[in-house]
Amino acid sequence: MSTLAVYPGSFDPLTNGHVDIIVRGARLFDRIVVAIAANAEKAPLFTTDERVEIARVVFKEHPSVEVESFDGLLVDYVARRKADVIVRGLRAVSDFEFEFQMALMNRRLNEKIETVFMMPAEQYTYISSRLIKEVFSLGGRVHGLVPELVEARLRDKVSTVTKQ
Ligand code: PNS
């Protein structure tokens, strides 16, 4: 029996921490779906379509990684996809409280779905999409913390915003 995992998130933008978890997840499960939440953030930097396109390009050489967006409750999406597992990354103890709440709420909503936590490589434990956006928008260097495509897209965004 093959195991399908769903790795949900906002991915605004995709970071090398996310990439690390996806690669680890792809080793552990037969297939992993990167599920990009369409409505998770009120004012995302990248549109849902842009986030999907970026992740698809980054994982184009990984046949067991699929990228899709979803709306509504995560557990409903996971059930629709007939997936077995939700994967979430845990970077530090500070992530734990919120992740624990979400995992138990999702279990209450659908007790058949398990949440599995995975730890990224140490060098990515301090990276978050929010920090990447803040550092980049203030002129800081994010090289090595996000895929090169994301870095290029961040540059495009900033130049579009400053031209307006
Ligand atoms: O990358 P993030 O922002 O930490 O991801 C959070 C996400 C998208 C996984 C979470 O907000 C989510 O599952 N949203 C879908 C709506 C939902 O099911 N909410 C209840 C979660 S217990």
Measured from the CA of 74, which atom of ligand 1 is nearest? 18
Helices 129-137, 148-163: axis angle to 10 degrees equals: 50
* Beta-bridge partners for 118: 89
pLDDT at position 14, please?
Answer: 98
Which amino acid is residue 127, in one-letter code? I
Is residue 9 lining ligand 1, measured as CB closer than 6 Å? yes
Supply the residue whose CA is at minimum distance from atom 12 of ligand 1: 74
Confidence of residue 57 (pLDDT cuts 50, 70, 90): very high
Instruction: Please give the pLDDT value at position 79.
Output: 98
DSSP-derived secondary structure letter, 90: -
Residue nearest to atom 19 of ligand 1 (CA): 73
Give residue 71's pLDDT: 96
Q: Measured between alpha carbons, how far is 62 from 39 in angstroms, rounded to an integer?
A: 26
Query: pTM to 2 decimals?
Result: 0.96
Distances (CA, A) of 151 to 140, 142, 163: 12, 7, 18
For ligand 1, atom 17, the nearest C-alpha belongs to: 73
CA distance 99 to 139: 31
Q: Which residues are catalytic?
A: 18, 42, 91, 129
The finding on whether 6 has its CB within 6 A of some atom of ligand 1 is no
Over residues 40-65, mean pLDDT:
95
- pLDDT reported for residue 161: 61
Residue 11 CA to residue 16 CA, distance in Å, equals: 11
Confidence (pLDDT) at 164: 56
Are 31 and 87 a contacting pair, CB within 8 Å?
no
